Amino acid sequence: MKTLNSLFTTALLVIAMPVHATLDVFACEPEWGSLVTELAGTRAQVFVATTALQDVHRIQARPSLIARARTADLIVCTGADLEVGWLRMVINQSGNDKVQLGKAGYLEVANFVPKIEIPVVIDRALGDVHAMGNPHFQFGPKQVQLAAEEITKRLVRLDLAGEPEYRNRLQDFTTRWKAATERWRAMGAPLKGVGVVQHHKNYSYLFEFLDMKEVGGLEPKPGVEPTSSHLNELVARQQTDPARLIVRSSYQSPAASEWLAQRIAVPAIMLPATVGGTAEAKDLFTLYDDAIQRMLKALKG
């Protein structure tokens, strides 16, 4: 019954969709969904495939995703193999030619932004290494700006009538983003040089931007669950290379970071993995605000 109801509601929503929404956009992650909304306004109807409480590496090619990909005009995803376990299957099953690789409707942001932590050695013995580099670049202000520019190009290609609006919105976003970047730099100044341990490589771009010093990761290898021997190593490392903060993302279990926090008497905090990861992180701007504020607050203790 509940399903029927939700079906009915969805049908109503589709019918009641604003008439000027011309593009149907499928965003793999909330950050790109949010960015598309910034850049397209009501000209696009955005579906976001995952949430900040989910590990995007481990999503299933669910029927609902295939259905949404079927009607999409544009798919915006991170790329760099982040969605390797499901996106290809979703697109293949959808039978939608508009969003196939190589079409204007298929955008992997990773192909248009510089990435850090590009591994020199690629071997599965090293864990889930991303050959193209760290794909969690929603926390790189420069990367987000480049993503905005590429997304706008695609919006214009797919909906030429909206070009003036897309250009205006990009300009507006760029101005606001530039100002915000300066603000975050000033806001995060006390974090400069602070040693930090992160669960997975979710915040490397943010640490680089704020000039923080990553002294270790809870995962012994990318994508591998923290082990006690590895955590003990981190405890030992605290003598030579001290961390003042332990961070994990909204989709990771708190167990490992809290265990380490107790051992080395350093605050462990949760940061939003992306937009929607905390109540405060409502869009890309508030995502950065919230992440930086949470770190500042934890340091003040």
Partner 1 sequence: MRHTLVAAAVAVACTAAGPAMAQNTELDRIRKDIEELRNSYEARIRALEEKLKDAETNARKAQESATQAETAAAKAETAAVQSETATATATAQAGFRQASQNAFNPAISLILNGTWGRFGNDPTTQVTGFAPSGGEVIPGRGASLGESELFISSNIDPYFRGALLVALTPENTVEVEEAYFETLALGKGFAIKGGRHFSGIGYQNAIHPHAWDFVDASLVQGSFLGRNYGDDGLQLRWVAPLPVFLQLGAEIGRGREFAGAGEVERNRNGKDSQAFFAKLGNDIGVSSSYQVGASYLRQNSGPDGVAYLDYNDITGFNNSFVGKQSISGLDFVYKWAPDGNPTYRNFKFIAEWFRRKYDGDFTFDTAGVAQTDLLNAKQSGWYAQAIYQFVRYWRVGARYDRLSHGSTNLYANAANVTAPDFDPTRYSVMLDWSPSEFSRIRLQYNRDLARQDLATGETIKDNQLFVQYIFSLGAHGAHKF
List binders of partner 1 among 120-159 (CB under 8 A): 120-121, 123-129
Is residue 87 within 8 A of residue 28, CB to CB? The reply is yes
- Report the b/e string of 111-148 with b at 16+ CB within 10 A: eebebeeeeeeeeeeeebbbebbbbbbbbbbebbbbbb
Query: Minimum distance from CB of 164 to partner 1 (Å)?
Result: 29
Confirm or reject binding of residue 175 to partner 1 (CB under 8 A).
Answer: no
| Residues of span 246-265 touching partner 1 by CB under 8 A | 251, 253
| Residues of span 71-90 touching partner 1 by CB under 8 A | 71, 81, 84-89
Looking at 229, 240, 279, 301, which residue binds partner 1 (CB under 8 A)?
A: 229
Whichever of 72 and 170 has its CB closer to partner 1, that residue is 72
| Residues of span 97-116 touching partner 1 by CB under 8 A | 97-98, 100-102, 114-116
Whichever of 51 and 293 has its CB closer to partner 1, that residue is 51
Residue 256: count other Cβ atoms within 10 Å of its Cβ: 23
Element (H, E) at 101: none
Query: Minimum distance from CB of 217 to partner 1 (Å)?
Result: 6
Stretch that binds partner 1, among 61-69, 154-162, 167-175, 276-284 (CB under 8 A): 61-69
Whichever of 51 and 174 has its CB closer to partner 1, that residue is 51
Burial of 205 (0-12, 13-18, 19+ CB in 10 A): buried
Stretch that binds partner 1, among 49-57, 150-158, 163-171, 176-184 (CB under 8 A): 49-57
- Give the alpha-carbon dihedral of 190, 195, 198, 201, to 10 degrees: 90
Query: Minimum distance from CB of 291 to partner 1 (Å)?
Result: 20
Query: Minimum distance from CB of 91 to partner 1 (Å)?
Result: 9
Alpha carbon distance 68, 47 (integer Å) = 8
Confirm or reject binding of residue 230 to partner 1 (CB under 8 A).
Answer: yes
**How far is the CA of 89 from the CAs of 9, 83, 93, 108, 260, in angstroms?**
28, 10, 6, 16, 38
Query: Minimum distance from CB of 108 to partner 1 (Å)?
Result: 14
Stretch that binds partner 1, among 64-72, 154-162, 173-181, 286-294 (CB under 8 A): 64-72
Query: Minimum distance from CB of 33 to partner 1 (Å)?
Result: 15
| Residues of span 2-21 touching partner 1 by CB under 8 A | 2-3, 6-7, 10-11, 13-14
Q: What pairing do the DSSP bridges indicate for beta strands 23-27 and 44-48?
A: parallel
**How far is the CA of 102 from the CAs of 74, 85, 151, 152, in angstroms?**
12, 19, 15, 17
Looking at 21, 61, 104, 299, which residue binds partner 1 (CB under 8 A)?
A: 61
Alpha carbon distance 96, 67 (integer Å) = 10
Query: Minimum distance from CB of 253 to partner 1 (Å)?
Result: 6
Looking at 22, 41, 54, 282, which residue binds partner 1 (CB under 8 A)?
A: 54
Confirm or reject binding of residue 94 to partner 1 (CB under 8 A).
Answer: yes
Angle between helices 284-300 and 163-187 (to 10 degrees): 10
Burial of 222 (0-12, 13-18, 19+ CB in 10 A): middle
Is residue 76 within 8 A of residue 126, CB to CB? The reply is no
| Residues of span 195-224 touching partner 1 by CB under 8 A | 216-217, 220-224
